[in-house]
Amino acid sequence: MPHYALLNNNIVVQVIVGSSDDQEAEYAEMFGLACKRTSYNTRGGVHFAGGTPYRKNYAGIGYTFDAVRDAFIPPAPYGSWVLNETTCLWDAPVPMPTPGVYRWNESTLTWDEV
């Protein structure tokens, strides 16, 4: 089933499940908000079930819809992280080490092992 994101000033305020494809205009009129289709199986521009990836990422409440990129962009997890233009996801300024379990430390801009 298709999913649709309802937008207020390009910020996702609700995600609903539709009954068929191509209902953006119908839902926009019904809710009085802009509406864009999104795909539950899409992350970083890849559809993990082999379907069509819609707008780079599955929309979530608080995500921004960027019309130029035609993409849903999640909120930045930290101020130092940089938007990846290919995936429209946020990358740490320093790659996470492997193996191990790490947590980002914004005050030192490093990964701390946990």
At residue 41, the pLDDT reads 95
89 neighbors 58 (Cβ within 8 angstroms): no
Residue 102's CB is within 10 A of a number of other CB atoms, namely 15
- How many structural domains comprise the chain? 2
Q: Residues 12, 23: one domain?
A: yes
- Rg of the chain over Cα atoms, rounded to whole angstroms, equals 16
At residue 52, the pLDDT reads 87
Q: Residues 70, 81: one domain?
A: no
And the tokens for 57?
Answer: 């990422």
- Looking from the CA of 77 toward its CB, the CA atoms found within 13 Å total 11
Domain that holds residue 102: 76-114
Q: Residues 13, 62: one domain?
A: yes
The pTM assigned to this predicted structure is 0.91
And the tokens for 114?
Answer: 């946990």
At residue 1, the pLDDT reads 85
Q: Residues 7, 62: one domain?
A: yes
How high is the mean pLDDT in each 10-residue block of the chain (114 residues)? 96 95 94 96 96 94 98 98 98 96 98 97
